[in-house]
Structure formats: C-alpha cells, structure tokens
A and B are shown apart, each in its own frame.
Chain A
Amino acid sequence: MYTQALNSSDGDDRGVEDVARASQFQARIDADERIEPNDWMPAAYRKTLTRQISQHAHSEIVGMLPEGNWITRAPSLRRKAALLAKVQDECGHGLYLYAAAETLGTSREELVDAMLSGKAKYSSIFNYPTLTWADIGTIGWLVDGAAIMNQIPLCRCSYGPYARAMIRVCKEESFHQRQGFEIMVTLCRGTAEQKAMAQNALDRWWWPVLMMFGPPDQVSQHSDTSTKWKIKRFSNDELRQKFIDATVPQAEFLGLTIPDPGMKQNENGNWVHSPIDWDEFKQVLAGNGPCNRDRLAARRKAHEEGAWVREAAMAYAEKRKSRQLAQAAE
C-alpha cells in the first residue's frame, strides 16, 4: 500500500566502486533510461532499492490485517465482496513487489524473515487500529489516497521492475481510493450515528496519515541520493502538501471537519497544517504504536502455524521428483 519515507542512511560505500562505471550509470539515469536487473548498478543503489521495495511489500502484507479485521463484519454482501477483493489485491501487490525486490538479488524468504524479526520496517500507518466500519472507508479514502500521491511518481522510478510494478499497483490503488470515498459518502449521507462514526474515524486517522509522507524535508537524511538516482522525485513536504490540498475539498464535500482548527489557506491557495506531532511518529516507528505488537504477532503466527503446510508441500514435491526419477530409470 505504501512505503514509509525512507530516511535511514545506507552508509557511504560508493567511493570504493569503479568510478567510470558509476559515472556511466549516473549518465543513464540522467538520460531517463531505465535500469534493469542485469545492468551494473552501484551497491548502494541496489541496497536502497531492496530496502524500499521490500518495505513497500511488507506494508502491503501487514496492511492486510487492519482491513482484514472487518471482512467478516462488513455490513452488506456488496461491501464484503469489495473488501475481500481489496485485501486480496494488497496481497497481490505484496507478491508483485517481493518479486521486484528479488530481481535485486535477495530472496523473498530472507526479506520476509527480516520483517518477522522486526528488523525491516513497514508503513507505520498499519500500527493503528480499525475500530469501526468507518475506518475501512477512511483507510481507502486517505491511506490509499496518500499512497497514490507517493506512488504515482514511482511509476517513473529509474529501476525498471519497480516502476512497472507501480503502474499496476497505482491502477488498483486508485480504484480502492474511490471505493473508500464511496463508503464515506454513504456514511455521511446516512444516519447521525453513521456520520459521527465517519467524523470520528477522520479524527483518528488524519494525523497518522499526514505522517505517512515521512519527516519534514529539513530533517530527512535520505532524499538527496534518492533524488539523484531518480527513485524519489518529490520531497516529503511537497507530497504532503499535494495530498492536503487534494483532500480538503473532499472533506468539505463529505461535510466532515478536518481535525486541525489551526489549518489555514495561504496566498498560493495551499492549506497549511498545524505542527505534526513527530514524537508520536518516532514512537510508532520504534515499535510503540497501538498495534505494532499485534501486527507482528499476527504475521508471525500465520508464518509459524503455516510451517507444517509449507514443509508438507516441499516434502511432497521431493517425493514426486524422486518417484519420477525412479520411473525414468526403469
């Protein structure tokens, strides 16, 4: 669904690499050529992308949990089918992205293990709980909306497999976003209780959604190299601003109030938000969000309880292979 703005540094190992190749590589990037899996690339480029794509994949997979929480309680058969299909899409995105990450030389198994051990990150937004049905609408409307803001530029990312994956993912995400907004429209046109449910969900999700774009530009360590490599094309603050400006009229249309009384429109027409509580963001990143433990526990449980199934499949495949070999030898 969304890759957290990537701010940890890779360390600078670029100095030891072949200078001529590195400059050729940069020239290709500058000429807007796509880098493909078998092309030479700096180790740090490979590492940055492996981390970013796999974090993105982990986010899709962990992101199945908060929405999956409502599949069995969806309030109509149409909503139930749409939600199940949506969560299934997310799983598909995860698989697709793991495959893109694997083209950089790390196996899916290794990447998943890093997530399960807590070493690899996934988007913090999924560490918040889905308490009511309105949260499902709000996630589609805002979380998927924010994801799209971030991912559309990634369709032009310099790394071919990632860019191509993003084209498909963005199409599905924009469908999810419209679906979420439609849930919100229905709630806001419904009973007073439903409208209150919608407002309450917006109140709870607004600030965490703004945090999805990552720390403000002044403190973001990572952007320079990523920009040079055309992995990142807009800064965190630019994307956040775009998102807010697009969302304010939508909230107005719904008759909902954005929970930021200090928000004002500046002379350029941009909506300027009040300060974001970055301490909360740091706490959630550090594992202290309301659902961090639950999310990891659920993924670990699925993984551990599924171990005997995966082992059985392997054992059967082995048996079959040796039977075929034995038959062929006869």
Chain B
Amino acid sequence: MATANIEVSETPLVLYALRRADDALILGHRLSEWCGHAPAMEEDMALANMGLDLLGQARELYTYAAKVEGKGNDEDKFAYLRDVRQYRNLLLVEQPNGDFARTMMRQFCYAAFADLYWRAMMSSSDPTLAAIAAKSEKESAYHVRHSSEWIVRLGDGTEESHRRAQNAIDDLWAYTGEMFAVDGGERGLIDAGIAIDPATLKSRWLKTVTGIVNEATLSLPKSDWMQQGGRVGSHSEHLGHLLSELQSLQRTFPGATW
C-alpha cells in the first residue's frame, strides 16, 4: 500500500514559501546526484557544499510553510508525500544535470537570480522570510561566484568546453523567464511588503548574466520564448523520476520513522 499524498492548503503565503522551498530542494537534490562522480575532487566538495546550502534553505522554508499552514504537515511530508502535480518549483531547477557545463549553467542562471532575490527579501516585512533571506543571500553569493568562474573557464577554455557551455545556455535559456513571473496570489504578498517583485530584478540579472556570458566568449540565445508551468505543477517529464527516487523509502514503508 502506498502512502497517499498529503493535502496542502495553499494560501498565498504557504504557496509562496513552498515554491521557494521546492526550488531549493530540487536543485539541491540535483547537485547531490554528482556526489562521488564530479570531474575533480575539489568539485565533489563544492557541489556538495552548494547542495547542502540549498537543502538547508529548503528545510527552513518548508518548516515555515508548515507553521503558517498549521495543518500538521512538516518538512518531510512536504518533500516526500506530494506528487509531481503538487510540486511548485521552477522548471529550470528540475532539468537533469547533463554534463558539467549544463549543471554549472543551470546553477549560474539560478544563483544569479537567487542572490538578487534573497538580498531584496532581506527587507521583507515577514521576519521569518527576512531571516531566511539573510542566510540564503550569503550562500547564493558564493554559488554565483563559483558557477560564474566555471562558466568563464568553460566558455573560454577549449573548443570542446566552449561548445558544451554554449549548448548548455542554448538548452536552458527558455527556463529562465519563469523566475521573474508573478501570479495573483503573489501580487497580494508583494503589495503587502511580504514578497518582492522579481520583475524588478530582471535587468540586473540580465546584466550579470550578459557580463559573464561575454567574458566566457559565449552568446546569449536569440529566442525569447520562455517555458512556464512549474509554479502551478505543470512540470517537465524529468521531475517525476527525481521524485520517485527521492520518495522511494517513504512511499514503500508508509508511516515509518527514519
């Protein structure tokens, strides 16, 4: 007998916290897939480090969502007992690791956003979100530094690494627009000073990305078509496989404590 999915009362604030928690968990999980298989031992350390930062952020955000929701859910129930349609993360973070260039490009695109986002969220009128933001901003700043250094090395390295880095940005670009989208519920939180409007970060994000992409001798994709759907549970096919692995024990042994 499989354990049923939990029900979540997605009030705007619960949903807001869950979306950011899911981003952090799914990206952290992806990074953890590298552990023991990275191109260099130093990179095994660094990828695990970033993965741990993200896992930590996810745990705090889930715990906060559970508290706000007040229905007896907790971080593990949110992580292990929701299915694909209930996950609210960005499509970008669930994209498979691919090669190292793709992993780093995904990391860079997300971190360059997260760094600006968390810095702005430090002035949220919600003290818990502001506190999580203060910690996450420091971590994201390191993620930007680490990933951008690799983008430059790979883009301006060898012919092969250049080709791989260019492929990575070409493939991932369409998933970056979702980071700046806002729906009605979030608009209300923005108006109340709890959340910030991500659209206001876009030009600075683009400036950071363009700067690194130029330094790396890469070019930004011409297409501006952007995929959407992660925030409402319309995911790529990849997420289901990730969740089936992540949730396997909780689903196989319902109700057990680990």
A→B interface (CB under 8 Å): 61, 64-65, 68, 71-81, 84-85, 87-88, 91-92, 94-95, 133, 183, 186-187, 190-191, 193-194, 298, 301-302, 305-313, 315-316, 319
With contacts A84-B52, A311-B158, A316-B153 taken as known, whether A77 is within 8 angstroms of B41 at the C-beta atoms is no
Q: How far is the CB of A109 from chain B (nearest CB, A)?
A: 11
> Chain A contacts of B75 at CB under 8 A?
77
Tell whether, in the assembled complex, residue A298 and residue B156 are in contact, meaning their CB atoms are under 8 Å apart.
Answer: no
Q: Do most interface residues of chain B lie in helix, strand or loop, or is the interface mixed?
A: helix
Task: Flag whether B154 is at the interface (Cβ < 8 A).
Answer: yes
Q: Decide if A84 touches B51 in the complex (CB within 8 Å).
A: yes
User: Can you show 16 pairs from A to B with CB atoms below 8 A apart?
Assistant: A64-B35, A64-B36, A74-B249, A77-B59, A77-B62, A84-B51, A84-B55, A91-B41, A92-B45, A190-B256, A302-B39, A306-B39, A308-B164, A312-B153, A316-B153, A316-B157
Contact present for A80 and B158 (CB under 8 Å): no
1/0 per residue, CB under 8 A from A, across B41-55: the answer is 111110011011001
Q: Which residues of B contact A85 (CB under 8 A)?
A: 48, 52
**A-B contact sample (17 more), CB < 8 A, given A73-B245, A73-B246:** A68-B35, A77-B59, A77-B75, A84-B32, A87-B36, A87-B48, A88-B35, A91-B44, A186-B258, A190-B258, A191-B256, A193-B253, A305-B99, A306-B43, A309-B40, A310-B39, A311-B157
Interface size class of B (residues with CB under 8 A): 35 or more
**Contact indicator A191/B253 (Cβ below 8 Å):** yes
- Are A81 and B59 touching (Cβ within 8 A)? yes
Q: A87-B35, A302-B38, A309-B161 are in contact. Are A73 and B45 (CB under 8 A)?
A: no
Contact yes or no, B245 A76, CB < 8 A: no
Which applies to chain A's interface (DSSP): helix, strand, loop or mixed? Answer: helix
Which residues of B in the span 69-105 have a Cβ within 8 Å of any Cβ on A?
75-76, 79-80, 99-101
The answer for the CA separation of A305 and B42 in the assembled complex, in Å, is: 15
* Per-position 1/0 for B178-203, Cβ under 8 A of A: 00000000000000000000000000
Q: Which residues of B contact A (CB under 8 A)?
A: 25, 29, 32-33, 35-45, 48-49, 51-52, 55-56, 58-59, 62, 75-76, 79-80, 99-101, 152-154, 156-158, 160-161, 164, 245-246, 248-250, 253, 256-258
Asked whether A91 and B161 contact (CB < 8 A) given A73-B246, A306-B39, A312-B154, the answer is: no
Q: Which residues of A sit under 8 angstroms from B58, Cβ to Cβ?
A: 77
Q: Do A71 and B35 contact each other (CB < 8 Å), given the known contacts A81-B59, A91-B45? A: yes
Report chain A residues within 8 Å CB of B154: 309, 312, 316
Residues in A neighbouring B36, C-beta threshold 8 A? 64-65, 68, 87, 91, 298, 302
Contact A80 B32 (CB under 8 A): yes
B80, B99, B253 pick with most chain A CB within 10 angstroms: B253
Contact A312 B258 (CB under 8 A): no
- Docked-complex contact A84 and B35, CB < 8 angstroms: yes
Residues of B within 8 A of A68 (CB): 35-37
Question: Which residue on chain B has the smallest CB distance to residue A57?
Answer: B41
Query: In the docked arrangement, what's the CA distance between A26 and B43, Å?
Result: 41
A64 to B51, CA, bound (A): 16
Separation of A64 and B36 alpha carbons in the complex (Å)? 6
Query: In the bound complex, do residue A308 and residue B161 qualify as a contact, i.e. CB atoms below 8 Å apart?
Result: yes
User: Smallest distance from the beta carbon of B162 to chain A beta carbons, Å?
Assistant: 8
Smallest distance from the beta carbon of B147 to chain A beta carbons, Å?
13
Shortest B71–chain A CB gap in Å is 19
Distance A183 CA – B176 CA, assembled complex (angstroms): 40
**What residues of chain B lie closer than 8 Å to A310, measured between beta carbons?**
39-40
